[in-house]
Structure 1
Amino acid sequence: MDGHRVLIADDHDEFRRGLEALLAATPDVEVVGTASDGAMAIALALDLQPDVVLMDLHMPRVNGIDATAQIVASSPHIGVLVLTMMEDEESVFAAMRAGARGYLLKGARRGEILRAVEAVGAGEVIFAPGVADRVMDYFLGVRNRPVADAFPDLTERERVVLGLIAEGKENGEIARQLGLSVKTVRNHASNIFAKLQVAHRAQAIVKAREAGLG
């Protein structure tokens, strides 16, 4: 497996240097650049095309939420891993809506950070334990919202596929359940993502669960 190419975006010099040292000492991880503000993070991400961007939320010029949104909109394959002091629900969901695939708090242990970089680089979604609890509580709260009028642009079949995506099922599992080919499910998923105006699966799951699916 090729190593993960990582860009670090944080305006605290000491913290950024510490992260850089940690990752540089890790096999299979290459730090390709560092940014001290959001505008620089966007420019470097689009130029260097890293696999993972470690993103602080509080940064000068452009904040981490807006930087995440611009990076993911231009390069959906880049995995943004938020690393921040902020654990309020508003920040967490703003980051996920912007397209972040992970959310860690700055008190995280070295091993947690490395595991999260690996996970996000592999296309997974990861939350700090405390943040994961908040996310689950939030989704349990929205599950009772009416679903009927959600996503009027979707066909009935797309709505069914989205519901299964929101349950965390992968394309192969959805294909078996609906008696379709994996290619057909993949096409449905692409159409769904386009109609929902999302860059990837994690964002689709957030939107679907907020509407009460899954």
Structure 2
Amino acid sequence: MTAIRIGLADDQPLFRAGIRMIIESQDDFEVVWEASDGAEAIQRQTDEPVDLILMDLEMPRVSGVEATSRILTSAPSPALDEAPSPGTPAAASPPARIVVLTTFELNDKAFQAIQAGASGFLLKNADPEFLLAAIRTVHAGSAVVAPSMMNGLVERFARRTPRIDTDALGELTVRERDIFALLASGLSNNEIAAQRQLSDATVKSHVSRILQKLHLRDRVQLVIFAYENGLVSQE
């Protein structure tokens, strides 16, 4: 079994030690490096790329938001329908997926981190089992947002002035536009399959093509895209 390679970025050594102990209790996880601020995280990821980074938002020198943006901007884009492959040589490695950790439920920095491309957003007091499940989910190519924060995230985007783009969905087929609307409303693959009488595999294939055509990484980015372009509205 090839372990999922993980980096920890947090300015509190005791917190890092606790997270490392939780992560390394799993046979399929490996903590490759630790960083005490965003600048160090950027350098460590350059020197020794990992598959997934747990990133604190509040750090000295370079914040978690800036580190997230710089790490994801400098990395090549992977195929959107493929999960990251641990142990891939650095030159061919897809960008790390980043899970943001914070003490606060939703603030401007968390909002900015999601915009910068973070694939997960968790509270530091999350249950260990939830954290481990979130790591596996994000590594597999999906996004994770703590349930208590999803409504706040959607409301924050809903309050923004839409950046209307009438061609935003021009590349999608009629069926894909229908699936897109259901995804943006928060339905799961299983719920979409039941509602449209499709197989789970068919829905998964549609979702993959939608994300690829719109150059989006995951469902969180899809919801953000929908609100930013005025394609859905909050009642």
What's the TM-score, normalizing by structure 1?
Answer: 0.76
Matched ranges for 1:110-129 at <5 A: 110-129=128-147
- In the alignment, which residue of structure 1 is the partner of 2:214? 192
Change (3 A) 1:125 1:48: same
Q: Which runs of 5+ in 1 are unaligned?
A: 177-181
The structural deviation recorded for 1:21 is 1.5
Change (3 A) 1:211 1:159: farther
What secondary structure, in the 3-state scheme, does the structure 1 residue paired with 2:165 have?
coil
CA contact (8 A) 1:6 1:52 kept: yes
* 2: CA distance, partners of 1:11 / 1:184: 41
1:60 aligns with 2:64: no
CA contact (8 A) 2:211 2:218 kept: no
CA contact (8 A) 1:162 1:192 kept: no
What secondary structure, in the 3-state scheme, does the structure 1 residue paired with 2:214 have?
helix
- In the alignment, which residue of structure 2 is the partner of 1:211? 229
Matched ranges for 1:36-185 at <5 A: 36-73=36-73, 74-76=75-77, 77-138=95-156, 141-142=158-159, 150-151=164-165, 154=168, 156-158=170-172, 161=176, 164-165=179-180, 167-168=182-183
Q: Which runs of 5+ in 2 are unaligned?
A: 78-94, 199-203
Change (3 A) 1:37 1:163: farther
Higher fraction of helix = 1
| Percent identity of equivalent pairs | 34
CA contact (8 A) 1:163 1:208 kept: no
What secondary structure, in the 3-state scheme, does the structure 2 residue paired with 1:34 have?
strand
What secondary structure, in the 3-state scheme, does the structure 2 residue paired with 1:108 have?
coil
Change (3 A) 1:155 1:85: closer
Query: Aligned residues, how many?
Result: 201
Deviations 1:119-161 (A, max 9, x none): 111111111121123124445x459x76xx7235647334975
What's the TM-score, normalizing by structure 2?
Answer: 0.70
Which shows bigger deviation, 21-30 or 43-52? 43-52
Q: Note the aligned Cα RMSD (angstroms).
A: 3.4
What secondary structure, in the 3-state scheme, does the structure 2 residue paired with 1:55 have?
strand
Change (3 A) 1:66 1:75: farther
Change (3 A) 1:2 1:10: same
CA contact (8 A) 1:53 1:78 kept: yes
CA contact (8 A) 1:142 1:209 kept: no
The structural deviation recorded for 1:108 is 1.1
Change (3 A) 1:92 1:19: same
Change (3 A) 1:88 1:152: same
Amino acid at match of 2:24: A
Deviations 1:51-84 (A, max 9, x none): 1100000111210001011111225541100111
CA contact (8 A) 1:46 1:75 kept: no
